[in-house]
Amino acid sequence: MGERKWHAEWAHLPTGLARDVVFVVDGGRFVAVTSGVPAQQAAADGAERLPGVVLPGLANCHSHAFHRALRGRTHHGGGTFWTWREGMYAVASRLDPASYLGLARATYAEMALAGVTAVGEFHYLHHQLEGTPYDDPNAMGQALIQAAAEAGVRLTLLDTLYLSGGLTADGHVPLEGPQLRFGDGDVQRWAERVSGLSDHTSGGPAHLRLGGAIHSVRAVPRDQLALVPDCGVADGTDPLHIHLSEQPAENEATLAAHGLTPTQLLAEEGVLAPNLTAVHATHLTETDIGLLGSAHATACFCLTTERDLADGIGPARALADAGVRLSLGSDQHAVIDLIEEARALEMHERLDSLQRGRFSPGELLAAATAHDTIGWPDAGRLEVGARADLVAVRLDSPRTAGSDPAQVLLSATAADVDTVIVDGQVVVTDGRHRLEDGRRLGAQLAEAIEPLWEGAH
């Protein structure tokens, strides 16, 4: 592509907020980052102007792309997490590789509009309706890979182990109904299927990173948990994620079946490690928090989902104080706005503790840019050598006008994202995605979602 230059009046560099910054990009990476360059001089040197304040690319570390079809569809009669899950299963039963491609492409484009440059996709929608593999056993995963490429974001495909339909005091129950699409039978067959994929570290697509996920201790029996770390899907350097203690019912079932909390069970089976991300981590004991901290694990908070599903407020500050890294995700996409997820990390703590300033703006930005937790350690920083991801957030919108650029995460929303650059490629300009040539993204999303609800009540 050749060298390109951009100038930002304000930018969040690793050293803090800087003024009049010129970014020089070549080969998809920053080759120079220089502050104190006046706009007029930068323009004379060929730099393109970026409005507002520039952030590193945001990392959406927990996504279920097909859940985007549930937005605005699950609130009748109030309901619970478990009734919401029935709606999710209904959507899951209607998707095939072609329709999944359309839905995921538009969903990932919506993420790009919100400043997301990489997404961790917790992928368990694997097979045909009765659990029979497609001719290509990874056809659904391939649809996600293509969708991310077309939407212009990097993808970490967290291929998910899902073996049982739930957990009771008497043990695990079999998969049934739509769940049959999720299962591979055991860890060995799961690993064999995943071995058919390759990422950028082994000659695969440049935008792809592979990792693994354990759906939950409800969905994977204890004798299979211990096999995961050494099965070849996610070794000590690959990302491994798990839904952990999202609901009190999960804790109660695990205690009844094993006499342990879910976190204690993972510790006993050797799953807790620095490459593990515990998603939600909402209902934890002090012992659980200590175990996660001792393992130097990550906790991924999905705050707009956790409040949408009435999951509760997780112990984010306590986890961070224990040495747990924090990341963020939009999960079921009731909202796709990583700025809002970051702000909610602080606001939920305020509601729970009755104190302000639980997280500094710098800590919120670190959680929103935790690319290394989904396998991209060279992203998430505006510095020489890093991947050239930039997100320009306007400072002249009705929401951000008058804001201190250092505190923009406390005032902006995804609607204020103006420009998004991923690996040196411009994906969003003037708040519009490059896929929106003649058709707005909302129309593309509606086209993908509405057929999934035809005939539903």
Cβ(263)–Cβ(244) under 8 Å? yes
For 35, residues 6+ apart whose C-beta sits below 8 A from its C-beta are: 11, 13, 18, 19, 20, 21, 22
Q: Give the global pTM.
A: 0.97
Cβ(184)–Cβ(207) under 8 Å? no
Q: Give the sheet arrangement for strand 16-26, strand by strand.
A: 29-34, 16-26, 4-13, 48-55, 390-393, 417-422, 425-429, 432-433
CA 215 to chain centre: 15
Specify whether 404 is catalytic.
no
User: What confidence category does residue 437 fall into, taking pLDDT thresholds of 50, 70 and 90?
Assistant: confident
Report the distance separating Cα 280 and Cα 302, nearest Å: 6
Percent share of the chain, pLDDT over 70: 99
User: What confidence category does residue 79 fall into, taking pLDDT thresholds of 50, 70 and 90?
Assistant: confident
Mean pLDDT, rounded, of the chain: 96
What are the pLDDT digits (tens) for 167-177? 999 999 999 99
Strands, E assignment, 162-301: 166-168, 171-173, 208-214, 240-244, 276-280, 298-301
Q: What is the mean pLDDT of residues 425-439?
A: 95
User: What confidence category does residue 211 fall into, taking pLDDT thresholds of 50, 70 and 90?
Assistant: very high
Whether 54 has a pLDDT exceeding 90, the answer reads yes
Q: What is the mean pLDDT of residues 25-38?
A: 98
Instruction: Look up residue 9 and give its amino acid.
Output: E
Instruction: Write out the two tokens for 12.
Output: 């969040």
Which candidate in 7, 62, 126, 280 is catalytic?
A: 280
Which candidate in 331, 337, 389, 418 is catalytic?
A: 331
CA angle 379, 246, 328 (to 5 degrees): 20
Whether 276 has a pLDDT exceeding 80, the answer reads yes
Specify whether 280 is catalytic.
yes
- What pLDDT score does 457 carry? 55
Residue 279: which of 184, 214, 206, 360 has the closest Cα? 214
CA atoms within 13 A on the CB side of 286: 0
Cβ(125)–Cβ(452) under 8 Å? no
Instruction: Write out the two tokens for 381.
Output: 């920083």
